[in-house]
Amino acid sequence: MEVDGTLLTLLGISAGILILMGWVEQIYKGYKTKRLKDVSKFLMIFIAAGSILWLLYGIIVSDVFIIGTNMSGLILMIIVLGMKKRYDIRANASQSE
Amino acid sequence: MEVDGTLLTLLGISAGILILMGWVEQIYKGYKTKRLKDVSKFLMIFIAAGSILWLLYGIIVSDVFIIGTNMSGLILMIIVLGMKKRYDIRANASQSE
């Protein structure tokens, strides 16, 4: 099948943007509710680890798109992990009062 | 830079598996606590949409690995979405009693 490079690039970029938008929405929801208790810490740790490997992959094949999406994915994971830690501590503190 | 295909395949496969493991852990946590309220519905919808595009990408370039990871990612998203819907309904029902 004759593969159209532009179509592939478009597919890859839109998929990457959609996934990032999902995490931005999760951050917004967490910020609004100040609660991320149900979000699994390991989900974010595993996804961050996966993003690091994809980042390596992107650097090796010098694909700026893969590097860009996974760098931003990694930053979003670190933000959500930080928020979750803060809100979980706060929730536990208010429970023990 | 001379790119070693096997290293790339290994990186891609391990990244994909790590990310899937993250979602399996989220499903397990949700199942244990019967709560997924803090997990954003749009996070899963956006990631499912992104997985569909990556699936198309994988089909076009006939890359079984990309197809496999994103097919399983899609299935996991549908499972988490279904669980979230059920637990949110249950939580709302018990609140209104």
* Alpha helices by DSSP H, B1-97: 5-33, 41-60, 64-96
Chain B residues within an 8 Å CB radius of A30: 38, 40
Measured distance between the N- and C-terminal CA atoms of chain B, rounded to whole angstroms: 65
The overall average pLDDT reported for chain A is 90
Inter-chain CB proximity A60 and B7 less than 8 Å: yes
CATH number at residue A33: 1.20.1280.290
pLDDT class of B1 with cuts at 50, 70, 90: low
Query: Is A96 inside any structural domain?
Result: no
Q: Per residue in A23-62, pLDDT tens? A: 999 999 999 999 999 999 999 999 999 999 999 988 998 8
Query: Is A45 inside any structural domain?
Result: yes
Inter-chain CB proximity A11 and B42 less than 8 Å: no
B47, B78 in Cβ contact below 8 A? no
Chain A residues within an 8 Å CB radius of B43: 22-23, 25-26
Highest mean pLDDT among A92-96, B1-5, B88-92: B88-92
Residue-range definition of the domain harbouring residue B70: 5-96
Inter-chain CB proximity A50 and B16 less than 8 Å: yes
Structural domain count of chain A:
1
Query: Is A97 inside any structural domain?
Result: no
Flag whether pLDDT at B39 surpasses 90: yes
Flag whether pLDDT at A97 surpasses 70: no
pLDDT class of B66 with cuts at 50, 70, 90: confident
ipTM: 0.84
Inter-chain CB proximity A3 and B39 less than 8 Å: no
